[in-house]
């Protein structure tokens, strides 16, 4: 039976990407080697590295005011690198808390410099995005937001709501899922393992004036050092960047981020419809106005029914639906590479399950 997957990340990559990687496995461009066996200083890898950077710029319409970096350490390392590099003395970093990942980012910043949580959605158990009433102050180092809250299934619908001279956004779980206005950001970061490729590489888009040299920041943690070295200060994760480049090529061929946004909206709609038309059999975790088009979270009435749902979904070839341990229930993660048919199959299964047990 064909299996379909909805994991929160790492997750499925586009079939075409896996096919190309397979074809090039032991002979990259007639060299008789896999790309990961090539030197990161050689022309074969250099071509991939620069193509990936160019594709990022083209896909997100990144202006020359911003630099693209490929780093390691996941989004979690960015939780530390951002305050290390961007909190100047006398300034305070501001955080908007919309879930566990923004809490983690804030906790790391507290170890490093002056920071403050200015808006929080915790009162709603992170089911709803808080009202955005924060007005920037002269004293702010930056304002940190999480654009999509992977665990709770909430996503800021309109990122233009954030007006801040140094807006910093964790876009780990929705980068490349919709168009962005890059000029509105000081820094954007995203671990690759959801919408960009495999784990091991983190994309950072940073406005060039924020690339300040700071002697107290170790070289490997300095944006300035990575930018000066075109993200080749140390050995990059060659194979992860190779796959990221193929994924970006696939997004381009598919019609870019405008097409991704359309597809993701349609994919999410069929699953939200199954929840909303269930007369309360399925309960959406996120409030309707805060819903994510990337992670769809819902619960059933009892633990016994939830266990049965997982058992029968797997019998029907549907995997990866278990919700995060802090929320329970289910989470269908429908990143760019998840096709419409997978979402249709899940919605069908949900309807059949309800007919049987509702
Ligand atoms: N931020 C968000 C929004 C995430 O979803 C995740 C991972 N699921 C992280 C940060 C942490 O990413 P990493 O494991 O790459 O450090």
pLDDT score of 133: 86
The reply to whether 170 belongs to the active site is yes
pLDDT digits (tens, 9 = 90+) for 174-202: 999 999 999 999 999 999 999 999 999 99
pLDDT digits (tens, 9 = 90+) for 246-277: 999 999 999 999 999 999 999 999 999 999 99
Nearest-atom number in ligand 1 for the CA of 146 is 3
Question: Does 152 contact ligand 1 (Cβ within 6 A)?
Answer: no
Residue 219 CB-density burial (10 A; 0-12 exposed, 13-18 middle, 19+ buried): exposed
Phi, psi (rounded to 5 degrees) for 284: -65, 135
Ligand 1 mutation target, pool 9, 70, 74, 75, most atoms within 8 A of CB: 75
- Does the pLDDT at position 2 exceed 90? no
pLDDT digits (tens, 9 = 90+) for 118-174: 999 999 999 999 998 899 999 999 999 999 999 999 999 999 889 999 999 999 999
Provide the Cα torsion 268, 15, 245, 334; round to 10°: 20
> Which residues are CB-neighbours of 324 under 8 A, at least 6 positions away?
8, 150, 151, 331
Question: Does 7 contact ligand 1 (Cβ within 6 A)?
Answer: no
Mean pLDDT throughout 43-51? 97
The verdict on whether residue 150 carries a ligand-binding annotation is yes
Please name the residue whose Cα sits nearest to atom 12 of ligand 1.
75
Span from the CA of 44 to the centroid of ligand 1 (angstroms): 30
Question: Does 150 contact ligand 1 (Cβ within 6 A)?
Answer: yes
The reply to whether 156 belongs to the active site is no
Residues of the chain with pLDDT > 90, as a percent, come to: 97
pLDDT digits (tens, 9 = 90+) for 315-349: 999 999 999 998 999 999 999 999 999 999 999 99
Question: Does 198 contact ligand 1 (Cβ within 6 A)?
Answer: no
Cα angle for residues 290, 293, 294 (degrees, 5° grid) = 115
- Catalytic member of 53, 91, 94, 101: 101
Span from the CA of 211 to the centroid of ligand 1 (angstroms): 23
Interface confidence, given as ipTM, is: 0.99
**Mean pLDDT (the chain, rounded):** 97
In the chain the domains, ranked by start, together with CATH numbers, are 4-12+256-357 (3.90.1150.10), 15-254 (3.40.640.10)
Predicted TM-score (pTM) of this structure:
0.98
Token pair of 190, please? 């995203």
pLDDT digits (tens, 9 = 90+) for 220-252: 999 999 999 999 999 999 999 999 999 999 999
Nearest-atom number in ligand 1 for the CA of 191 is 15
Please name the residue whose Cα sits nearest to atom 5 of ligand 1.
150
Span from the CA of 357 to the centroid of ligand 1 (angstroms): 35
Span from the CA of 126 to the centroid of ligand 1 (angstroms): 16
Span from the CA of 191 to the centroid of ligand 1 (angstroms): 6
- Does the pLDDT at position 211 exceed 90? yes
Task: Enumerate helices (H) and strands (E) in the chain, giving the number of each.
Answer: 9, 14
- Catalytic member of 94, 140, 170, 250: 170
pLDDT score of 161: 85
Q: Is the dihedral of CA 184, 288, 103, 74 positive or negative?
A: negative
Mean pLDDT throughout 283-301? 98
């Amino acid at each position: 039976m064909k299996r379909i997957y909805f994991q929160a990340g790492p997750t499925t990559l586009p079939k075409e990407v896996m096919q190309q990687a397979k074809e090039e496995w032991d002979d990259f461009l007639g060299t008789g080697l896999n790309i990961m066996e090539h030197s990161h200083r050689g022309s074969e890898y250099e071509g991939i590295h620069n193509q990936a950077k160019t594709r990022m710029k083209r896909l997100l319409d990144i202006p020359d005011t911003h630099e693209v970096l490929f780093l390691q350490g996941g989004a979690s390392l960015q939780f530390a690198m951002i305050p290390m590099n961007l909190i100047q003395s006398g300034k305070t970093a501001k955080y908007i808390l919309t879930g566990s990942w923004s809490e983690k980012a804030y906790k790391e910043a507290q170890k490093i410099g002056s920071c403050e949580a200015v808006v929080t959605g915790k009162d709603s158990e992170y089911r709803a995005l808080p009202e955005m009433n924060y007005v920037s102050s002269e004293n702010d180092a930056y304002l940190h937001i999480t654009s999509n809250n992977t665990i709770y299934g909430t996503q800021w619908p309109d990122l233009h709501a954030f007006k801040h001279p140094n807006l910093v956004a964790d876009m780990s779980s929705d980068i490349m899922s919709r168009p962005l206005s890059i000029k509105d950001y000081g820094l954007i970061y995203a671990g690759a393992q959801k919408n960009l490729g495999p784990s091991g590489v983190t994309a950072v888009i940073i406005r060039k004036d924020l690339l300040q040299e700071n002697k107290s920041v170790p070289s490997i943690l300095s944006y300035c050092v990575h930018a000066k070295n075109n993200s080749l200060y140390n050995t990059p994760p060659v194979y992860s960047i190779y796959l990221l480049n193929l994924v970006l090529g696939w997004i381009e061929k598919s019609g870019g981020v405008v097409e991704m946004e359309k597809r993701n909206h349609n994919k999410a709609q069929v699953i939200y419809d199954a929840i909303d038309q269930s007369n309360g059999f399925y309960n959406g975790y996120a409030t309707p106005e805060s819903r994510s088009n990337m992670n769809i979270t819902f619960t059933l009435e009892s633990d016994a029914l939830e266990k049965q749902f997982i058992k029968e979904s797997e019998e029907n070839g549907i995997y990866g639906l278990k919700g995060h341990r802090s929320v329970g229930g289910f989470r269908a993660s429908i990143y760019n590479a998840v096709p419409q048919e997978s979402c249709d199959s899940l919605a069908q299964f949900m309807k059949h399950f309800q007919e049987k047990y509702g």
